[in-house]
Amino acid sequence: MSVSYRQPGVVLTDRRFTVPLDHDAPDGETIELYAREVVATDKTEADLPWLVYLQGGPGFGANRFIGKQAWLGRALKEYRVLLLDQRGTGNSTPANRQTLPLRGGPREQADYLAYFRADSIVRDCEAIRPTVTGGAPWAVLGQSFGGFCTVTYLSTAPEGLRAALITGGLPSLDAGADDVYRAAYPRIERKVAAHYARYPQDVERARRIAEHLLAHDVVLPNGYRLTVEAFQSLGIVLGKSDGSHRLHYLLEDAFVRTPQGPALSDAFQEEAQGLLSFVGHPLYALIHEACYGQDAAPTAWAAERVRAEFPQFDAAKTLTGDGPLLFTGESVHPWTFDCDPALRPLRETADELAENKGWLPLYDPARLAANEVPVAAAVYHDDMYVDTEHSLETAQAIRGLRAWVTNEFEHDGVRAGGSRVLDRLISMSRDEV
């Protein structure tokens, strides 16, 4: 039974759907999907087209907006919106350290998680669309990984789409995980340089913290082991609109004096563990590299292997000189599973996924070249998470796609920009600008 309730300016309805775990075995095991339907209060009885939102990640549930926050207000002017918790996330059937042991051992868990990539998410959308829209095509808004899913949607089921709107999520159609990370580390280095240019005092602060971590075994209050590599991974915030400022404030009060000497402050530790922990989104860590698997070759911990090609990220070597410590960005490593208590029970499962030799292509270049769905995409110049060159190559490969390349926003522009990004994409998809 669906339940409706109100927030300022909107009416929300909880929706639940049952879909096959494996869409090629429709009579087999099923999982549950949760979605939140949102409509403007003054349009509850209107016959509106639908917009389904695909969140970034992988592994994050849809935004929990209050009222008409961020881009939602613009969307509700003309759409009913479906905020979908992709399989395994949010209120959909969960996949985490508590539930995955129900599958069996690491091999069985990895086999199960192989059904949590973009191809399965798109087939989920197509399975529930007739129930939601009565069979009519809907528009899709894909942010980051949601944009990857949208390109898969255009490749496999374009008949389900009336328009595709993509923000910071045009993937390479043929790059493997190694290619993705080989392009990523130089971008990350540029973001770190920009941060230090803004906050030069953070150079010494970051070095001091790294030196402390190399000399001490630090375990955060939630059990997270804060190694120097884990500390460097806090650079993931630098790809967001407020990330540089947030990192600066984290570093500025990192130490307190104690009877035993300088120690990392409780405030620093609390903030750091909130940024580092995967307890709320373990799927991100588990299937992140699998999102780039497109052939029979295993991803084999690509981010860790490729990092070795960039010795400037080696903290121990950096600290022997006087150069700035480099933070890292959106990457998952074997040590991630050793550091995080929410992931430790899943380390062998992650190893199994890293050795998977059965990934199938997620995109169909020929079908994209013949695309007839209106597509508009925001490409954020020097996006830390998605390579601009890869995105522009894909923009050229999708027939009719209109790209808006901008450096006004970071990767989270659709959130930070309020209605502006979505408004422009809608207008572009209609050839109004």
What is the predicted pLDDT for the residue at 296?
Answer: 82
What is the predicted pLDDT for the residue at 17?
Answer: 98
Query: Under a CB-based contact definition with an 8 Å cutoff, are residues 236 and 329 in contact?
Result: yes
Reply yes or no on whether the pLDDT at 37 is more than 70: yes
Q: Residue 279 in 3-state DSSP?
A: coil
What DSSP line would sit under 96-154, residue for residue? STTTGGGG-SHHHHHHHHTT-SHHHHHHHHHHHHHHHHTT--EEEEEETHHHHHHHHHH
pLDDT tens, 248-306? 999 998 999 999 999 999 999 999 999 999 999 999 999 999 999 988 889 999 999 99
Query: Under a CB-based contact definition with an 8 Å cutoff, are residues 411 and 144 in contact?
Result: yes
Q: Which of 307, 342, 341 is nearest to 327 (CA)?
A: 307
Stretch 397-408: mean pLDDT, rounded? 97
Catalytic residues: 144, 383, 411
Mode of pairing for the β-strands spanning 30-40 and 80-85: antiparallel
Which residues, at least 6 apart from 149, have a Cβ–Cβ distance to it below 8 Å? 54, 86, 118, 121, 122, 142
Quickly state the pLDDT bin for 2 (edges 50, 70, 90): confident
Stretch 127-148: mean pLDDT, rounded? 98
pLDDT tens, 100-111? 999 999 999 999
β-strand partners of 244: none
Structural tokens at position 39: 């409509």
Output the average pLDDT for the chain.
97
**CB contact burial 382-408 (16+ within 10 A = b; e otherwise):** ebbbbbbebbbebbebbeebbbbeeee
Residue 235 carries which side chain, given as an amino acid letter? G
Rounded (10°) CA dihedral 394, 398, 402, 404: -10
Q: What percent of the chain shows pLDDT beyond 90?
A: 97
pLDDT tens, 301-341? 999 999 999 999 999 999 999 999 999 989 999 999 999 99
Stretch 79-97: mean pLDDT, rounded? 98
Stretch 202-219: mean pLDDT, rounded? 98
What DSSP line would sit under 147-210, residue for residue? HHHHHHHHHH-GGGEEEEEEES----SS--HHHHHHHHHHHHHHHHHHHHHH-TTHHHHHHHHH
pLDDT tens, 12-33? 999 999 999 999 999 999 999 9
CA atoms of 305 and 254, how far apart (whole Å) = 31
CA atoms of 142 and 35, how far apart (whole Å) = 15
What is the predicted pLDDT for the residue at 418?
Answer: 87
Element (H, E) at 19: strand 10-20
What is the predicted pLDDT for the residue at 5?
Answer: 95
What is the predicted pLDDT for the residue at 1?
Answer: 65
Stretch 401-410: mean pLDDT, rounded? 96
Stretch 141-166: mean pLDDT, rounded? 98
Domain ranges, ordered by start, for the chain: 3-174+363-429, 177-354
Q: What is the pTM of this model?
A: 0.97
Q: Which of 407, 415, 409, 394 is nearest to 180 (CA)?
A: 394
CA atoms of 179 and 306, how far apart (whole Å) = 9
What is the predicted pLDDT for the residue at 138?
Answer: 98
Tokens 């008949």 locate to 159
Topology of the domain covering 3-174+363-429: Rossmann fold (3.40.50)
